[in-house]
Structure 1
Amino acid sequence: MRDLRRYGLAKVDPDQRIQVHRLFQGVLRDELREEAARRGRTNVHHLLASANPGYPHDEDNWGIHAELGPHIHPAGLIDSDVPDARRVVLDQIRYLDLIGDLEGSRRLGDDAVDAWSKFEGVAGLGPNGELTLRAANYLAVALRHLGFNERARTTSEQVLGRFRVSPEFGPDHEFTLYAAAALAPHLRVAGLFREALALDEDTVARYRRVFGDEDEQTINARSNLAVNLRMLSDFAGAYAIDAEAVHAWQQVVSENDNRLLFAQANLARDLYGLGRYEEALGLLRAKLPPYRQQLGAQHPYVLLAGRTLAIALRKVGRYNEALAAAAEHDRDSERRYGPQHEHALAAAMTHANTIRVTGDLPEAQRRATKALDLYRVAFGDTHPLTLAAANNLAIVLRSLGDLEQARRLDERTFARMRDALGPDHGFTLCAATNFANDLALAGETEAARSLSAQTLELSRQARGDRHPYTAACVVNAGIDLIAVHRHDEGQALLDQGVAALAESLGDDHPETAGARDGRRAEADIEPPPT
């Protein structure tokens, strides 16, 4: 090595890493005879396999995985005869997804699955081999993160089915359970929230039985279960799970560990869903800076936390800060994913909602309309995420005075929400609130009163009396009673709603001030990530 360094053919850094000049590499390869080249490649495969730390989910190993990655294709690891060398490839697919290099994970996953599926009689390979199925599972995750939803779901379903029927693995094997946990998000993206919940409930039960409550994979599976509960508006149930996850991670990792930060970001989403906006904002302000430092500002998990921050800022009434945060998040998400990805569409709608409350209604309409059109293309007319976007656009239209179009949109949205999610889902309650607003503005005061009263009762049962959206329902129900000449009863209810908003949002909050002036409350929707 000293001779190589003296002639400028290699560099050795203080950590004893060797870097050989590319020209010298090429000359050396050309000079080697076939047998010597074969032995050299095999030696390289063994070296890389020995260097592989495995456990790509552990951020302590990311530095080594980063060093291994550039060698995979030049060394031909995908086609290696060394089994442990192929595991380097498998771990790299997952590592790339975890650090946010989604396209790199997809490309490597595609290459590995395509090559390994063609092998016959080689342990771990072939269409039903362990490495092939696990690589396909990781590939499906990357595809979903990139927005290739149909292919991701199909791939994931095939992997889970093959693991379950395999005599080598079966339904309770850890690889099968991981595949089941990976399929549930694909179902949620498809709008199949209850099917995803049932799958995750079964997966959690199996993890607990096989690995115990304190195993890392069990904790992760329970976090996935909480995602389903959020999508079904059971924020209290999700909060209970995520609070346990935060506590569990706090016992074993540092305060800036990505697993703990991920759990805390989930907890902030629960707090938002529970109407505890100030608490959600405080948690995000404390945890988002180290999250960005650990993973980078463009990492998918960091971007999702940034959206929750923008929403929380708006809900506590800090509209200018919220607008800046929502604009930045919208720009970063479209740059990261493209305009039709679920997360980019959610960012665009969050931005439109924020523009609406800051007063630029024509711009809010433009952005909300564009987002709704893209939701319809990506998810269809009846998907809950599309319906949430329609609900938000109708608020803008009503604010602009386009009452007829707002009513048509709200009436259709409310009916579809009720059919898809049930009458007491949070999305449906928002749609009901807004349709009652249409009825009131059209002079159909008794119909508005009846719907507002029903919505208030359901909101109390589903959200609780202290939720700001329940307080908004109280305000609207009081205004509707006054409109049908039940003045004393209505004024008492209106005063109660104003007091509840002042308690939860603050006396000077714009929504509290609006209710005090007798203005009807609107109910926008900010869906949690699937």
Structure 2
Amino acid sequence: MHVLRMTKTFAFLLRQIGQVPESIPLTEKALEVSRRLEGYHEDLIDSLCEMADARNYQGRFDEARQLTEEATELARSLFGADDPATLRATHTYGVALRLCGRFREALPLDQENARQRELLFGPASFFALNTLNALSIDMRESGDYPGARDFQEDAYRRARSALGDEHPLTLRIARNLAVCRRRDGALAEAAKLAEETLRRFVARYGPDHFDSMSTATNVFVDLRLAGDFEGSRQLAEVTVRRFQQRLGENHAYTLLARANLAATLRALGAIDAAQEQEDDAARRLAESVGPRHVTALTVTIGQANTAYARLDFERAREIDEANLPVLVEVAGEEHPLTLSVMANLALDLRGLGRGEEADELQRKAVEGFGRVVRADHPWLVAARQRRRIECDLAPMPM
């Protein structure tokens, strides 16, 4: 038993310093041994959660979901809903659901888990703050951009006070807050926080650590939105190469970074290069996470934008019309992504000379945005002004 726990601890430390591939054989062995032992249920639950972390790193999100579902069911049956082991398993189950694109299922799970962790450990504890960070991602990806930002601003204040500015969890909360600010339309505030967080992650872990690469993705998106297209391209290309080297060509986060790079290339007028990145990323994502995953759907929004940039309004219409009902079902009728596709489809139809249909869609999109985002949100402004909406992708914690 001592050897098992030492093995798990060593694997955990390897993951924390970014040596995840080296940790995976140890984690697999620990789970194998834990399944054979009788009576050591907490060790089995812990091993299942750690194996799920490893599978997430490998991009095998559905396998991770199955492992965490098993861990959660086992913990609940043995210890009850409010035991620390159950809360740990439930937290990792929420992570897995989120990575599978099932944000609306993760949301109530994380809400209850956050409530119980705050009661058990305190509102400023590491465990409560970790779940609050997850909960704000659920809120954001479910489409509540203002609520997610307000919620995360509070979590960041708590983390800085309780853990300090340099604590890894504080930095991860800061990275998520930067994305929340961007999605809420506060672009300058988002960029400033993302750049500072990247500097701190690189100083702590180096540029090739997952946290550093994820934050760099956010920074090059911010640079594009600020109009620094060349600076965005340079950082994006470096970041894509790092993801390819660390996670592989087919990992969802490598493909996500490539899709964001494509938006920068499109802004630079490099339409052929943008299409090459997007088409390959879209194909690989559809194979790895499924064509109905929100990440895969967001990449196809970029493909429609590339077609529109070529003045191929018919191709843009085909993509946007195919996306719209799927997003309504997967994300919701008034999710900002759904409304973005609706506004873009109005432009496609206008380009094809179908003005009355375009006017009606534009009206619906503007009214919908008016109900779910702030009045000065860039996407709402773009919809009103009949400009194309670019949607970005943000890597989520694994």
- Measured against the shorter chain, the TM-score band is over 0.9
Deviation at 1:142, TM superposition (A): 1.4
Does residue 442 in structure 1 map to residue 310 in structure 2? Answer: yes
Q: Which has the higher contact order (CA 8 A, sep 6+)?
A: 2
* Counterpart position of 2:321: 453
- Aligned to 2:203, which of 311, 335, 352? 335
Distance 1:255 1:381 in 2: 40
- Aligned to 2:9, which of 129, 133, 138? 138
Query: How many residue pairs were aligned?
Result: 398
Deviation at 1:405, TM superposition (A): 0.6
Distance 1:247 1:147 in 2: 30
Does residue 181 in structure 1 map to residue 49 in structure 2? Answer: yes
SS in 1 for 2:274: helix
Q: Is 1:502–1:509's contact at 8 Å kept on the other side of the alignment?
A: no
Q: Is 1:323–1:354's contact at 8 Å kept on the other side of the alignment?
A: yes
Distance 2:124 2:251 in 1: 37
SS in 2 for 1:480: helix
Gaps of 5+ in 1: 1-129
Deviation at 1:312, TM superposition (A): 1.1
SS in 2 for 1:461: helix
Distance 1:133 1:397 in 2: 49
Distance 1:478 1:228 in 2: 35
Q: What is the correspondence of 1:212-227 to structure 2 with a 5 Å cutoff?
A: 212-227=80-95
Gaps of 5+ in 2: none
Q: Is 1:390–1:409's contact at 8 Å kept on the other side of the alignment?
A: yes
Distance 2:122 2:242 in 1: 41
Deviation at 1:232, TM superposition (A): 1.1
1:246-268 CA-to-partner distances (Å, cap 9, x unmatched) read 22133334332222222212111
- Aligned to 2:188, which of 320, 331, 348? 320
Deviation at 1:527, TM superposition (A): 1.9
Distance 1:220 1:173 in 2: 14
Does residue 231 in structure 1 map to residue 99 in structure 2? Answer: yes
1:165 maps to amino acid:
R
Q: Is 2:155–2:173's contact at 8 Å kept on the other side of the alignment?
A: no
1:157 maps to amino acid:
E
1:389-445 CA-to-partner distances (Å, cap 9, x unmatched) read 001000011111111111111111111111111111011111110001111222322
Does residue 465 in structure 1 map to residue 333 in structure 2? Answer: yes
* Counterpart position of 1:412: 280
1:181-221 CA-to-partner distances (Å, cap 9, x unmatched) read 11111100000000000111111111111111121110110
1:64-96 CA-to-partner distances (Å, cap 9, x unmatched) read xxxxxxxxxxxxxxxxxxxxxxxxxxxxxxxxx
Taking structure 2 as the reference length, the TM-score comes to 0.97
* Counterpart position of 1:281: 149
Deviation at 1:515, TM superposition (A): 1.8
Q: What is the correspondence of 1:79-94 to structure 2 with a 5 Å cutoff?
A: none
Q: Is 2:146–2:374's contact at 8 Å kept on the other side of the alignment?
A: no
1:280-338 CA-to-partner distances (Å, cap 9, x unmatched) read 21112222122123222222211110001111111222122111101101111111111
Distance 1:510 1:212 in 2: 46
Distance 1:180 1:162 in 2: 11
* Counterpart position of 2:344: 476
1:138-190 CA-to-partner distances (Å, cap 9, x unmatched) read 11111112111111111100011012123xx36x6221221111111110000
1:367-392 CA-to-partner distances (Å, cap 9, x unmatched) read 11111111111111111000000010
Q: Is 1:395–1:434's contact at 8 Å kept on the other side of the alignment?
A: yes
Distance 1:158 1:510 in 2: 50
Q: Which has the larger radius of gyration?
A: 1
Distance 2:374 2:383 in 1: 12
Q: What is the correspondence of 1:90-489 to structure 2 with a 5 Å cutoff?
A: 130-166=1-37, 169=38, 173-489=41-357
1:289 maps to amino acid:
R
Q: Is 1:411–1:435's contact at 8 Å kept on the other side of the alignment?
A: yes
Structure 1 stretches of 4+ with a deviation exceeding 4 A read: none
Distance 1:173 1:135 in 2: 17
1:334 maps to amino acid:
V
Distance 1:496 1:401 in 2: 30
2:81 maps to amino acid:
D
1:218 maps to amino acid:
T
Deviation at 1:464, TM superposition (A): 0.3
1:100-152 CA-to-partner distances (Å, cap 9, x unmatched) read xxxxxxxxxxxxxxxxxxxxxxxxxxxxxx11111111111111121111111
Distance 1:255 1:165 in 2: 37
Query: Identity across aligned pairs (percent)?
Result: 28
Taking structure 1 as the reference length, the TM-score comes to 0.73
Q: Is 2:45–2:85's contact at 8 Å kept on the other side of the alignment?
A: no
- Aligned to 2:389, which of 510, 521, 527? 521
Distance 1:411 1:378 in 2: 22
Distance 2:290 2:368 in 1: 26
Q: Is 2:45–2:89's contact at 8 Å kept on the other side of the alignment?
A: no
